[in-house]
Amino acid sequence: MSTSSKQSHETRVIPDRLETPFRRLLASWEVLLFGVAVAIFIANSLASPYFLNAWNLSDATFNFTETAMIAFAMALLIIAGEIDLSVAAIIALASTAMGYAVQLGVGTPGLVAIGITVGLACGAFNGLLVAGLKLPSIVVTIGTMSLFRGISYIVLGDQAFGKYPADFAYFGQGYVVWVFSFEFVLFLVMAVLFGILLHRTNFGRHVYVIGTNPLAARFSGIPVERVKFILFLLTGLMSGIAAVCLTSRLGSTRPSIAQGFELEVVTMVVLGGVSILGGSGTIAGVVIAAFVMGLVTFGLGLLNVPGIVMSIFIGLLLIITIALPIVARRLRNARSAA
């Protein structure tokens, strides 16, 4: 073989140095976030002697199960390039409808149906405004956030609805087996269902394509408006389910119920690795982020940290998780341009 042919052959041989599946896994956001969750778990166990208790850990799940179930639907919506800031107000309106129904003597099955139906109706209303009239989702849902909660304040005023049926308490306070609450089991089931929907179906692939390039999605024959409408339906549905669980857990309805939940939901989604610009993200990341936020808030609670400090922490966490990818991308671009 001639020297030139040897050199030509050698230039075609590229050693596999970096892009192995194992190294890609180690570099993923989900693995990093899982490491953070483990570190927080260890820190909490060292900081408080009451943390490593099965029933205390079970109580910790109530800090995130309701918001996490909404976060699954919100993750799909943000991946598709939209957002719903009215989810907490939907909970308030659905809870108000259930509280009003209790005064009329409606039983537990009817209350659950009312809560879910109100959630779906609110989601459909948002979907019609965004997908049907093509209005900006952030503007629409800020408006409906005030609308839905305003209706709750008009109906309730400064009073609260209570006296829910005894069996209604199971959804927010009951346990399926041992320390595993109904809410936590429902959270796990929803995680699996939304994981399959996003990562194993054509609908999930459509969500990614729409978030990456909605114009290309339309030219590819994807029904963009229909998909977005369904996504708003899903956020409404999960908000209705969360309303049933939260109202059941608290045992009463107030117009201020779920105040600030929208911030927690968006923080959970973004912390889970879902790009706020759309087009990328996983349900696994959202699940891990839910545990991280739950462990942090429960650990701070065991240390008697005031609730306002937790709110400050969540706000800072949202800013940091949004800013980090943008700063990292700019640094990469600057380094490649140099």
CATH of the domain at 103: 1.10.3470
Find, among 289, 278, 337, 229, the residue nearest to 40 by Cα: 289
In this structure, are residues 232 and 123 in contact, taking their beta carbons and an 8 Å threshold?
yes
pLDDT of residue 320: 85
Q: Which residues of the chain have pLDDT under 70?
A: 1-27
- From residue 73, give the alpha-carbon distance in Å to each of 123, 130, 191, 224, 241: 11, 16, 10, 17, 12
What's the pLDDT score for residue 16? Answer: 41
Residue 80 placed within a domain: yes
What is the domain range of residue 256?
Answer: 55-331
337 occurs within a structural domain:
no
CB contact burial 81-103 (16+ within 10 A = b; e otherwise): bbbbbbbbbbbbbbbbbbbebbe
Q: In the chain, how many domains are there?
A: 1
Rounded Cα distance between 94 and 243, Å, is 6
**Does the residue 39 lie in any domain?**
no
Residue 160 covered by a domain: yes
Q: Output 36-41 pairs: Cβ under 8 A, ≥24 positions apart.
A: 36/292, 37/288, 37/291, 37/292, 37/295, 40/292, 40/295, 40/296, 40/299, 41/295
Instruction: Confirm whether 18 is domain-assigned.
Output: no
The answer to whether residues 160 and 252 touch, using CB atoms and an 8 Å cutoff, is yes
Judge whether 145 and 89 are in contact, CB under 8 Å. Answer: yes
Residue 332: predicted pLDDT: 81
Q: What is the pLDDT of residue 10?
A: 43
DSSP per position, 211-267: HH-HHHHHHTT--HHHHHHHHHHHHHHHHHHHHHHHHHHHSSB-TTTTTTHHHHHHH
| Contact by Cβ (8 Å): 232, 77 | yes
Q: Determine, yes or no, domain membership for 200.
A: yes
Indicate the pTM of the whole model: 0.90
Residue 240 lies in a domain: yes
Question: Is 47 a member of any domain?
Answer: no
Q: If residue 144 lies in a helix (H) or strand (E), which one and from where to where?
A: helix 137-156
Is residue 162 within 8 Å of 98, Cβ to Cβ?
no
Contact 88, 261 (CB under 8 A): yes
Q: Is the dihedral of CA 55, 60, 66, 69 positive or negative?
A: negative
